[in-house]
Amino acid sequence: MSLKNSMELENLYSRKPYLRMYDLNPSKESKTLLKMARTEGEFYLETDSKAMASSISPKKQAERLVSERTIREYHLVLVLGTGNPHLLKIIDSKMREGQILLIIDENHEITAPLWEKFLFPILENTGRHLFTGENSLPLLFNYIESLPIERLTGVLFFRNPSDIQNKKEFYVSIEERISKLFSSKMSDLLTKFEFERIWVKNTVVSLLRYGDTSTKRVPIKNLENYINNIPAILVSAGPTLRSQCDFLKKIRDKVFIFSCDTSLKVLLKFGIIPDGVMTLDAQTHSFFHFMGEDLSEIPLFADMVVSPQLVRSMNFKSIVHSQTAKFQIDASGKPIREATAGSELVTQYIGNQGDIQSGGSVATSAFDVLRFLGFKKIFLMGQDLAYTGREIHSTGTHHNEKWLTLLSRKNSLEKINEVVVRKRKTRYVPSANGKEVLTDYVLDIYRHWFEESILNVDLDVKNIASGGAMIQNMENISLGEAEEIFLSTLSHNYPWKKSSPWNDESIQNLDTSSLKEIFLFELRDLENKINKYLKSEMDATELLEIVKQEIQDKTYLNSMLRKTEIYLQRHKKDLTKEREKDLFVSSVKKEIRFLKKGIMTA
């Protein structure tokens, strides 16, 4: 019985069904062959009569490549090119059980010749995967997107030189995209470490204040696909914004203007009142974007994690609430929804407010809000994603206002900007005007989000750019070209002003006054139980297990403890059970106190 029909193969297919798309039968016309090297027992691949590894001793060549790198326990390991099959075997042997190894090759014909001797024994192991040919790339990137980043410490690439040389453009683009994906996910994780506890506290406090009658509150889900056939302009606070505002003022009655919080002051200085403003920041310093301004005609689009003090203190026309959620495909191919910490409480007590995806910045969330509202034609303005003219933001922002108070004979605006820029890890990228412009790692992540997102939506998106970074996968146009486009656009007469966020009709906000006692009772009860367990005579292992069971159904607490749990997981070998218990229990008690304080001051 051939391997293809064996029970072992069927078992492998049941665990990794995507492998069925690979043809295991060698084709007579195939130009990819497994060849014996001069050294007995060693092999290499030949493609188009060209050896993809050493034809003398490919195993020694592979050993040299592997010896140059150290595979750590929590590395995500990728092999680019399979021309030297011994490289796959050696790397696999040095990895722990369950560690992730991704084997990538541009040539889909490598599967059949390598299957029995090399690929099958490796792919039988948990965590080992194969992606060959252009058609497998969506599956590869979905898989990497779905990986739990908290279990990884870095990405390690092993490159087979002959494969890289033969198809350099393919492998370079793959490596660059995977590196960006990993950087983005790592950035998300670090953000979670820093802010998840604040997100949960803000969400709880926002729930307690949801019934406040002083400001109308509207779930964004009520506005899904509400506005059609009108162009929208998303305004960000890049350095070029000030040069674009006169044009924006001319076309005010032809577009829906949606401002990021940072750019709001710039627009108001030009007499432009936007149709909505987006904020995302959970910290109170977002106040500065709004202080001193008349906001009575502007709805605030705000995530539930936004600082409750901001929502309570400013006189917005209304508050349009949303929740940040990310939709992706997990490693098994199933769609999953990954929501911001605390979102489950919102859904439980007042219902889902509407999911908005984010790339980590206010502008990325604002873009998805426009998509959610139904806009099919979106223009980006002030979206420099670069230090155009070596400036951080457009003049007129609150940052600029703050810096004006620091000016002196020896301290100019240029010098203040330069000091900030020099602290960043910068590089030059192609500019929208055909030159080069300075950007940094964080701005690159946001630009990458726009470039990837455009590929997944059916929208007409244009970047009105008189400078700034070139954003791929959309048309980058000049102000002159934008003016030509809007010459034939008619005035829209503001049809959205009839709907709840913009009209003067009052609505009854949901009453959430009883939630304060519900949350306090739950937290006090948990605190009392933990104190009772600590006074008992149970050992550290049993106590730790019981405490974890107590908080298992409190997903908001689990999010707040993420950092501690990852630390314990990665240092499990170095910690005694007693020390592990002390660290975990003290973290639980700390977060309970943090939440109680927020609730009491709400």
d(CA 48, CA 52): 10
Beta strand pairing status for 232-235 and 216-219?
unpaired
According to DSSP, the residues that pair with 430 across neighbouring strands are 436
Intra-chain end-to-end CA distance of the chain, in Å = 71
DSSP assignment of 210-276 equals: TT-TTSEEEEGGGGTT---S--EEEE---TTGGGTHHHHHHTGGGSEEEEEGGGHHHHHHTT---SE
Q: Please check whether residue 168 is in contact with residue 81, taking contact to mean a CB–CB distance below 8 angstroms.
A: no
Is the pTM here over 0.85, yes or no? no
CA neighbor of 76 nearest in space, from 133, 150, 137: 150
pLDDT of residue 133: 92
In angstroms, the CA 324 to CA 331 distance is: 22
Residues of the chain with CATH 3.40.50: 3-166
How long a stretch of residues is the chain? 602
Q: Is 176 exposed, middle or buried (0-12, 13-18, 19+ CB in 10 A)?
A: exposed
For residue 507, what pLDDT is reported?
79
What CATH number matches the domain at 3-166, 1.10.1220, 3.90.25, 3.40.50, 2.60.120? 3.40.50
For residue 553, the model assigns a pLDDT of 86
Q: Of 327, 399, 392, nearest to 358 (Cα)? A: 327
CA 143 vs CA 135, 140, 297, 456, 593: distances in Å: 14, 5, 45, 17, 38
Contacts of 409 (CB under 8 A, 6+ apart): none
Q: What is the mean pLDDT of each run of 10 residues along the chain (602 residues)?
A: 67 90 84 94 94 95 93 93 96 94 95 94 94 91 84 91 95 92 81 87 92 87 92 96 95 97 95 96 87 94 93 92 81 71 91 91 96 96 93 86 80 84 88 92 90 91 93 94 93 93 84 89 94 89 91 88 87 88 93 93 78
Distances (CA, A) of 29 to 25, 32, 33, 488, 526: 12, 9, 11, 57, 68
